[in-house]
Structure 1
Amino acid sequence: MRAKTAARLVREASGSEMTSPLILASRSRSRADLLRQAGVEIEIAPALVDETAVKAGMAAEGAAARDVADTLAEFKARRVSAREPGRVVLGADQVLVCEGRMLDKPQDLAEAREHLAFLRGKTHELLSAAVIYELGAPVWRHVGRAQMMARPFSDGFLDDYIAGQGDALLDTVGAYRLEAGGAQLFTRVQGDYFSVLGLPLLEVLGFLRTRGLCRE
């Protein structure tokens, strides 16, 4: 019989084995799909966090992009955990930084085009943070990284890409979806593929196994 983790033995001894699904404190369809496709049962409970204000405040303090992503992920997990303290809650956030500039999700297709034109021919970094709360406190965190090298695509290609993808581009930092045609924008990707999609999935799954929320 496979040995049980120490964490599970403690929970079983105390009669507190967790059977409730993981709560995802995010409205990201990509993150939800990644977890479900990996076999994780989830409930979605988006956290109301003023991300723009948090980013602006941290940028004014000179915070590193990694810390911004981690802080936003924790704020989301904390907000939902306050309502569901007995549950395991996952908060996540993604930050894109290029030449010292942090990009948010575009507000419209015109801004999406501006973002992609800015990234063209450059290398940028994606940081995908995940923070897990349990019993109202943070118990695990990780920040995944990926470097994206955009090719010097033409204006014509850019216009066709935006027309083909449409409003779906507004749901992603950087205004591209690597899994849905966005690969055409790049010459090379280094780092964690799942972090490009918005979640350091393998590391998250590793922790969830210790809580019985993912098969060992």
Structure 2
Amino acid sequence: MTEIILASASPRRKELLSYLNLPFKVQPSSFEELFSPADVPEEVVLRLAKGKAADVAQQYPDAAVIGCDTIVVCEQILGKPRNEKEAELMLNQLSDRTHTVWTGVSILYGKKRVEFVERTEVTFWPLTQKDIQAYIKSGDCFDKAGAYGIQSGGALFVRKIHGDYYSVVGLPVARLKREIAPLLSI
């Protein structure tokens, strides 16, 4: 069976990939996630996903390597907050609004390449400063695009979602299954 490598340090992506019931290894990528807030979102996530997959594929040339990236867009790309002030600004920007979450996936297997992007719309309830400060104090806002985790405490902010929930978490696992199956003949 083909070795599968997840090019991510995300525990959420690791958990989601396990839903496929296929053996895999985790090898975080050292690819630098650089972008400008004004860049085209779907191009950013695909470029970053491809970069992560290509970085790890150098170490595992015979494996199927999966690279992923997720960003939040509300007027501009919101990355991961670097501090409490950035987290507060992001959460205030998302409050009582609809934003878009983009997840890009790149699968490299030898000379074969499968790439796709998922788009999901998320609408937040109005957030009070008390809500925002309590969430920031929890620490859950860090290391997450847009300063929230929909699979954890950030779920309390979500009024509605249109699209793939798991894409917002970081890996559109149902689509991944359909894309990787023919590639690996499984």
TM-score (norm 1): 0.79
For the pair shown, the structure with the greater C-alpha radius of gyration is 1
1:93-124 per-residue CA deviation (whole Å, 9 max, x = no partner) reads 0121111x111111123321221111112211
Residue 81 (structure 2) aligns with: 106
Q: Quick one: distance in 2 between partners of 1:204 and 1:120? A: 31
Q: Quick one: distance in 2 between partners of 1:66 and 1:33? A: 24
Q: Quick one: distance in 2 between partners of 1:96 and 1:181? A: 17
Given that 1:142 and 1:200 are in contact with CA atoms closer than 8 Å, whether structure 2 keeps it comes out as no
CA-CA distance at 1:80 after TM superposition: 1.2
RMSD: 1.7
- Point out the structure with the larger helix share: 1
Q: Quick one: distance in 2 between partners of 1:96 and 1:138? A: 29
Q: What SS is found at the alignment partner of 1:86?
A: coil
User: What pairs up with 1:64-75 in 2 under 5 angstroms?
Assistant: 64-75=40-51
Q: 1:146 aligns with which of 113, 116, 120?
A: 120
The runs of at least 4 aligned residues of structure 1 exceeding 2 Å deviation read 207-210
Q: 2:154 aligns with which of 170, 182, 199?
A: 182
Given that 1:105 and 1:171 are in contact with CA atoms closer than 8 Å, whether structure 2 keeps it comes out as yes
- Counterpart amino acid of 2:161? V
Structure 2's unaligned 5+ residue stretches are: none
CA-CA distance at 1:30 after TM superposition: 0.8
- Counterpart amino acid of 2:92? A
CA-CA distance at 1:20 after TM superposition: 4.1
TM-score (norm 2): 0.91
CA-CA distance at 1:46 after TM superposition: 1.3
Q: Quick one: distance in 2 between partners of 1:92 and 1:107? A: 20
Q: Quick one: distance in 2 between partners of 1:108 and 1:102? A: 17
Given that 2:71 and 2:146 are in contact with CA atoms closer than 8 Å, whether structure 1 keeps it comes out as no
